[in-house]
Amino acid sequence: MFVWPCSVILAEYVWQQRSRFSGSRVVELGAGTSLPGLVAAKVGADVTLTDIAHNTEVLDNIRQVCGLNNVNCTVCFDLEGKGCTLRSIFYTFTSTEIMQVLGLTWGEWDEPIFDLHPDVILGADVLYDSAKFDDLFATITFLLENSPGAVFITTYHNRSGHHLVEFLMVKWGLKCLKLLDGFSFLPSCKAASLQGNIQLVEIALDKEKPKWPSAD
């Protein structure tokens, strides 16, 4: 499994902000190799790792990553297409850190998403498929509305300029709290092996804007 540069940079940000993450509830979207979420768990966060629902191979890979990093892991698979609960399937490892792995497809409103109340939502390189942008931001906006005061922190390759992210934020009633060059806080020993124009942005609800886009 390949760890993308955006994941390395977001994980480093979590580590440098570890006092902020300790004791917080964290949801990682499109977790994949789950590096940012794993770091959050190691610094004391209550972490839920999510990736495509109904794809047991992806979720099982996440479970294996948890095991290799000695993290307690509860995995929920939607085996019968009826939604899942935390009683569906459990994989447990001996460790002080506990993580939940959950199938969550952007833009789909399955039962488990209503139980998520994160303080922080993480997403590394989730802005890669323009066809999924609205589904992604619908999910982000729902989670932010479901968790007053929550923030979404994402790293992304700045392929077409920050204006695309700005457009999506305005469309979904969100605002930028912080925008950083991803390499500006990365130690040189780590930056040397990475390439790309990577941005980190913190996003929250804009209380002065409509919560949902208009039907137009």
Rounded to an integer, the average pLDDT of 53-60 is 85
One-character DSSP codes across 183-205: TSSS-HHHHTT--S-EEEEEEEE
Which has the higher per-residue pLDDT, 78 or 1? 1
Percent of the chain with pLDDT over 70: 82
CB distance 186 to 9 below 8 Å? yes
- Write out the DSSP string of 53-69: TT-HHHHHHHHHHHHHT
Q: Which of 25-29, 45-49, 108-112 has the weakest average pLDDT?
A: 108-112
Least confident among 17-21, 137-141, 165-169: 165-169
Mean pLDDT of the region 74-99: 46
Mean pLDDT within 77-83: 44
The domains found in the chain, sorted by start residue, are 5-205 (3.40.50.150)
pLDDT attached to residue 55: 82
